[in-house]
Each structure stands twice: as C-alpha cells, then as structure tokens.
Structure 1
C-alpha cells in the first residue's frame, strides 16, 4: 500500500509518517507539500490513498484572510481530490475539524453531548472553509472513489501547536489553578495516527470524530501536565467558582474551560495510549 500525505511541515502529517514508519514500515508513506507544488506535476496513479492533512489554521481571522482560508482549505482540497480521482486513486481521507459544528463549549447542566450527525453550523472562517470542502468532496464520491471525513477535536502530543501548548506552558509555571468542571473531547496524536491507519486499511468512508476513550477537564489536564513535569499543582474551588461566575460568558473562557464533548460513536475502536500515559509521553518525549 502506498499513501500520499499532504502537509509536509504540518503536525498531523509529519507525526503520521513517523508513527507509520515505526509501526508499519512496509507501508509506503510519502509526505508532500501541495501548497507550493504544481498539482499537475504529481503522479497520483502510484498511490492507493491520499490523506489530505494540509490546511491553513491558527491564522488570525480577518476579512483579508477569508479569501486565503477559502483558497487553501476549500479550493485546494477540491482540486487535489479531482486530480487524485482522475488518476485512479480509490480512497481520499480528509482531515477536517470539529470547528464545523460551530460549538465553542459551555457550562450547561446536565452536560451537553454533541451528536456526530448534528448539522454543522460553523462560525469561524476556518470551520466554514473546512465544511465547504467536505460538501465538495461528498459530491465527488462514487463507488470507485471513497471519501472519509475525519473531524478530530483538540489534538495534542509532543511539540504540538495550539491550545495544548499554551496550557502546558501555564502548567509548568503556575503553582495554583482554578478548579472548574467542564469536560472536553481530545485526541492524542498517536491515537489519531492509529485511527487514520485503520480508516485507510479498511478503505472506510463516512464522517468520523475520533477521540480518546475518556474526556478530560482543563483543570485535570493542567494537573496531569504539571505532574509529568515533576510539579505539584494546587487547585482552588474558590478561584474556580469566582472565575466561572465572572467570566462564563466570555468566548475564550468558554472555549478553554467549558464542556465540549462529542458522542462516543464513530470513534476509535481502541485506545493505543491512555490519557495519563499520553500526557507523560507528550511532556517527556
């Protein structure tokens, strides 16, 4: 089996290549940058599957960047799939995002669980561009060109970008943290790589939201990160209650501490690495 992975410098693509080299060295995995590469120059006929992980992400969203999000996340995805399909590639795996659901987290009681089949209503430019790409890919699908859409929640692992890296930096420095109850779906990069491998081995199609088998709240996560770094983290219920009362309607606070949990259907069938082990591996690899 030969797999083309887009996103030569991207986190998911490079980590997937390394994971496959370690666990399935007999599978040919080639990383390629498609943002600068002429798509017409790529010989897609040599690949059995394409994992499209390249994307524009973590870019400040402005009216000026809207066109760039659309060009890279939507149009490039469609053009790549069209060329792969015309060359005879049978399977296309698209790394999308849970941002297509438009959910940012909250403090509802009882805890809200988001169904995988909930109709997407993205609010960010990133989410909108990814969802538009999903719709275009589904229009290209036929029995000879299967499409799998993967919408992972927050991805974390060694040297990862994004929210986890910011929380880890905080956990290494602060001695006390507010105790706030709000669970979140997350996925460790090795678990995601294992899931993506399973999808391609089975030539699966459809929509998937892979996640760890257990959710975690931000306070628990920061505590685990501190322990992995040999620190003892103190948590404060008082600080948590005061923070929640004062800040619960602030978007960044809801995104960081609020509940954002997806149903456990259409997720990984096994967990390659447990939550506590994954945090240790992330902090000590």
Structure 2
C-alpha cells in the first residue's frame, strides 16, 4: 500500500515516518515537506507551500494520504492577521492537497486536526465527544474546523474516505511549546506554585497518536468518521508535573498555592489564557475511538513520559 505523508519533518510526521520502517511489508511511505533544513541529507520530497503545491508526480498509485502538516498553534503570533494566515495554510493548503488526492484516485485521506475544534475547556467533568457540535474559540481552531468541513464535503462529492483525528496536547521526544517549557522548569528544580491544582486534562503521547493513525489507514470502520485521540488517563497539572519529574529522575518542587489565588494573579497580570491551560480542565472521551477501531492506547502516561526521556537522552 502506497502512503503519502505530508509534514514528514514535523513533530508528528517525523515520528510517523520513522514508525513506517517497521511496516515495510505493508506500507510504502513517501514523506513530503515544505522545505529541508540546511545541510540536510534527508530523502524527503520538497513540495513547497501546501496551498500552491503540485503533487501530480507523487500521487499516482497512492492509496492513502496522511496529512499532519499545518501551521501550528502559536502563542504570541506576530503576523498582522493570524486568522488569514491559519486559513491560508490549514484550510486552503489542506484542501489543495485533498482535491489533488481525490482527483488522483486516493482512497482515503487521514487528517490530523485538533481538539481545539471542540473548544478550549471542559467543565464539571464532562469530556468532549467526537460528534459534538464544534465550538472553536481561536483562529487556529477555526482554521482546522474549516479544513474539516471542506474535507467532508469533498469526500461526499468524490467518494474519497475522510478520516479526522483530533488530538489534545501531544507530548514526546523533541516536543516544543508549553510542554517543553514545563520540562525545563522541572529540570532546573525550580519551586513552582502548582502543588494544589485539581483540574483534569487529557494528553496523548506521540507513540499512542502514531499507533492510532496507523490503525486508521485501512480499518474499515474509520471511513468518514471523526475520532478523538488520548492516552485514556486524565491528569491534573500537579500530577503531570510530578510525573514529568519522576520520568526525569528529578523532584518536582511544587508549592500548594490555591488555584483561585493563582487565577486572580494571572488575571491581574493579563495572563488569563496561560492560567486556563494550567488551571482549567480539558478532557476528551475516546470511547468511540476505542470501540469503533478496536483500539486502546498501547502506552500509559507513565510509560509515555518515560519513553519520552529515554529516547531524548
């Protein structure tokens, strides 16, 4: 089976392409990227920006296209119009690739979306479900939703299967962003005022996400479905920091400051969004994913964190 993989030098794409080495008897994967790092000897195919990319030489004979490539969520976006930029890459770029795939006879398009399509937070222990009405709150989430909607319409018009996977925060070796910042703080053994946080947040380890993506390549029940990804274990920020410390072999020095006091301080400092990620809850229900695909996350959070640091050393 011939697989086309976009974003093959990104966080998810690179790990997925590496995993395909274990499936040589089943899959022949071709990795695409926008551009290569300087002095790279990679065998990836460079296709430029997705919204102008011409894949006509690569798509013939392809059975499945997996599309994790995207403009990632940026905390301090400095472009003049973030929504337009997200739309350009995440919606227009995705649909350009998908239209070419459908025209070339690709049977299935696996789109790596985001839990931000569902929203930013859950309350009262009610997790997001895969088939709930979307409620994105930022430009990134909206661009992913628009891509999903365009893909679903394209699939209905052409008969190409569309599979949508929405992961929450993905962690693993080489992770960047907020998770990387948290790792650095624990590594430095700095005291953190996060020892009394009782929220619940769903995460997904990179190895669990890759395993789910591979399951979606040819599973009959995956066709034209939306799936939420997750480790199947929800942690508080306090529990996660302790888990990171344990995986690193370092103590997480946590001071039990009440969450309400932290929320007030963040509000006064204009950091409400940061406080939401640290203090608020975001839970996903992966029951549909597990039941329809006969799948369960192969690694626990504890194992995922340990593998993260074992592989990075």
Normalising by structure 2, report the TM-score: 0.83
CA distance in structure 2 between the partners assigned to 1:267 and 1:185 by the alignment: 15
CA distance in structure 1 between the partners assigned to 2:55 and 2:263 by the alignment: 53
Q: What are the Cα deviations for residues 214-251 of structure 1, in whole angstroms up to 9, with x where unaligned? A: 11121111111112222122433345563245447922
Is the CA contact 1:116–1:265 (under 8 Å) kept in the aligned structure 2? no
CA distance in structure 2 between the partners assigned to 1:265 and 1:193 by the alignment: 18
Match of residue 151 from structure 2:
137
Deviation at 1:83, TM superposition (A): 0.8
CA distance in structure 2 between the partners assigned to 1:31 and 1:44 by the alignment: 12
Match of residue 116 from structure 1:
130
From 255, 272, 288, the counterpart of 1:266: 288
1:234-273 to 2 correspondence within 5 Å?
234-238=253-257, 240=259, 242-244=261-263, 246-247=265-266, 250-268=272-290, 269-273=295-299
Deviation at 1:9, TM superposition (A): 2.0
Q: Does 1:30 align with 2:30?
A: yes
From 165, 168, 183, the counterpart of 2:200: 183
Is the CA contact 1:61–1:125 (under 8 Å) kept in the aligned structure 2? no
Aligned partner of residue 43 in structure 1, secondary structure: coil
**Count of aligned residue pairs for this structure pair:** 281
From 95, 99, 110, the counterpart of 1:78: 95
Aligned partner of residue 106 in structure 2, secondary structure: coil
Aligned partner of residue 289 in structure 2, secondary structure: coil
CA distance in structure 2 between the partners assigned to 1:201 and 1:162 by the alignment: 32
Rate the CA distance shift 1:36–1:200 in 2: closer, same or farther, 3 A: same
Match of residue 228 from structure 1:
247
Match of residue 17 from structure 1:
17
Residue segments in structure 2 that go unaligned for 5+ positions in a row: 34-46
Aligned partner of residue 60 in structure 2, secondary structure: helix
Is the CA contact 1:171–1:225 (under 8 Å) kept in the aligned structure 2? yes
Higher relative contact order (CA 8 A, sep 6+): 1
CA distance in structure 1 between the partners assigned to 2:234 and 2:29 by the alignment: 31
Deviation at 1:46, TM superposition (A): 2.0
CA distance in structure 2 between the partners assigned to 1:267 and 1:35 by the alignment: 33
Match of residue 101 from structure 1:
118
- Does 1-10 or 243-252 show the bigger shift? 243-252
Aligned partner of residue 163 in structure 2, secondary structure: strand
Aligned partner of residue 140 in structure 1, secondary structure: helix
- Does 9-18 or 60-69 show the bigger shift? 60-69
- Does 45-54 or 160-169 show the bigger shift? 160-169
Residue segments in structure 1 that go unaligned for 5+ positions in a row: none
Normalising by structure 1, report the TM-score: 0.91
Match of residue 280 from structure 1:
306
Match of residue 172 from structure 2:
157
